Amino acid sequence: MLDLTCPACGNPLFKLKNSEIYCPSCEKKVIIEKQGQPTEKKQKLAQAGKDKNVSDLGLVLNQKLNDLKNRLATETDLSTIYKILKTIKLGITILNEIKQNQ
Ligand SMILES: [Zn+2]
């Protein structure tokens, strides 16, 4: 048992064999920041936010790429076509990065 308490429930925290900090009450891992303060809640929120944001971004990008594709089909101005193509390329690059991180 550690002399730290869980920031979410206030129960004592335990250190696992793999040196991870664990709250048996919340049944969750707790990340300890440099200053020694447990930040389970922050970490959890950050993780949840990250996952959600990433999948949302993927959805938005897919939608945008579809819009751009439709726009490209009817666009005749060369500089606009160029901009659309650059944007599509960037969008695909980001989508691939999201896929790789999942
Ligand atoms: Zn807890």
Q: What is the pLDDT of residues 15-24, one digit of tens each?
A: 888 888 899 8
Of the two residues 54 and 99, the one the predictor is more confident about is: 99
Nearest to 4 by CA among 22, 26, 18, 27: 22
For CA atoms 39, 41, 42, 44, the dihedral sign is positive
Question: Distance, CA 47 to ligand 1 centroid (Å)?
Answer: 17
Q: Which pLDDT belongs to residue 54? A: 66
Of the two residues 52 and 30, the one the predictor is more confident about is: 30
Question: Distance, CA 12 to ligand 1 centroid (Å)?
Answer: 8
Average pLDDT, the chain: 83
Question: Distance, CA 22 to ligand 1 centroid (Å)?
Answer: 8
| In the predicted structure, residue 36 carries a pLDDT above the cut 60 | no
Q: Which pLDDT belongs to residue 87? A: 96
